[in-house]
């Protein structure tokens, strides 16, 4: 098995969840690399959507922003932000990739403030399109480091709704049934969500880590899937495509 780093592991693990023919809304960085890897390997008909309006481009190289001209390269549509958000509202986007400074056991994300809203210790950029993406895409995916400062019992501010406070809460808030957090991919594990309680649970652990390692780096109690497994390592072909075609200059995988 070829050697790989943490970022390569996370990107390869995330890419495998994007099936052929699905639609995924992404930003730049690791989520974009995962979508590109999926498109160049097992999902040639993956529809990649960027917030600034690029729909289904064939990405030649890694874009540096959602408005980069490469996000429109050979796209089927060069639209705008309103069109993309309306497409999300119509329920036509299967996946979105999001991140944040904090995430809790129900998959709620905070990318706004640490501390009180009126007197924050730290203020972040805020929602951008994250609230819209997380509210209207069918499945939310997150790539983030495993750290107890990020994985907190209660987020300081809900920028993007996960399952809010548990079963039925999204529906009560007016969001479509069946939507919500799907996978959280970290440097240690892949987490999903229990279908009954909507709480985060460990589904697979990366090679070299244990359930205890994951729990020790989480600020709340994680559930453990009864089908717990070891995350498959990146294949030589995945690594070749990632290194030679997706990110040859190592902008992302070199971090």
Query: By 3-state DSSP, what share of the chain in percent is helix, strand and coil, each rounded to 5?
Result: 25, 25, 55
> Which pLDDT value is given to residue 1?
62
Rounded to whole angstroms, the Cα distance separating 68 from 57 reads 12
Q: Please identify which of the residues 3, 8, 19, 51 carries the catalytic annotation.
A: 51
Q: Matching CATH topology for 1-93+233-255 and 96-176+187-231?
A: yes
Give the Cβ contact number of residue 132 at 10 Å: 20
The domain over range 96-176+187-231 is classified in CATH as 3.40.1080.10: yes
* Rounded (10°) CA dihedral 46, 51, 53, 54: -30
Residue from 77, 15, 20, 90 nearest 49 by CA: 77
Annotated catalytic, 230? no
Domain ranges for the chain, please list them: 1-93+233-255, 96-176+187-231
Cβ–Cβ < 8 Å for 201, 214: no
> Which pLDDT value is given to residue 61?
87
* CATH fold for domain 1-93+233-255: Glutaconate Coenzyme A-transferase (3.40.1080)
- Give this prediction's pTM: 0.94
Mean pLDDT of successive 10-residue stretches along the chain, which has 255 residues? 91 98 94 95 96 92 89 94 94 95 97 93 91 96 96 97 97 96 98 98 98 98 97 97 95 90
Residue from 48, 59, 56 nearest 25 by CA: 48
> Which pLDDT value is given to residue 128?
87
DSSP 151: B
């Amino acid at each position: 098995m070829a050697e790989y780093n943490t970022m390569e592991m996370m990107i390869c693990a995330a890419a495998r969840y994007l099936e052929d023919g699905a639609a995924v809304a992404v930003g730049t960085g690791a989520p974009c690399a995962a979508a590109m890897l999926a498109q160049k390997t097992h999902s040639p008909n993956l529809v990649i959507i960027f917030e600034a309006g690029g729909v289904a481009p064939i990405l030649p190289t890694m874009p540096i922003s959602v408005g980069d001209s490469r996000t429109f390269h050979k796209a089927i549509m060069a639209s705008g932000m309103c069109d993309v958000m309306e497409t999300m509202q119509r329920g036509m986007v299967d996946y979105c990739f999001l991140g944040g400074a904090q995430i809790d056991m129900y998959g709620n994300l905070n990318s706004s403030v640490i501390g009180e809203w009126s007197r924050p210790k730290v203020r972040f950029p805020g929602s951008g399109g994250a609230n819209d993406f997380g509210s209207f895409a069918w499945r939310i995916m997150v790539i983030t480091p495993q750290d107890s400062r990020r994985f907190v019992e209660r987020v300081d501010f809900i920028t993007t709704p996960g399952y809010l406070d548990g079963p039925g809460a999204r529906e009560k808030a007016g969001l479509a049934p069946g939507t919500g957090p799907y996978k959280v991919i970290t440097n240690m594990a892949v987490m999903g969500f229990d279908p009954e309680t909507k709480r985060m649970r460990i589904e697979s652990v990366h090679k070299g880590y244990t359930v205890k390692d994951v729990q020790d780096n989480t600020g709340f109690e994680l559930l453990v899937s009864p089908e717990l497994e070891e995350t498959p390592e990146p294949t030589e072909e995945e690594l070749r495509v990632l290194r030679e075609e997706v990110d040859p200059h190592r902008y992302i995988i070199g971090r």
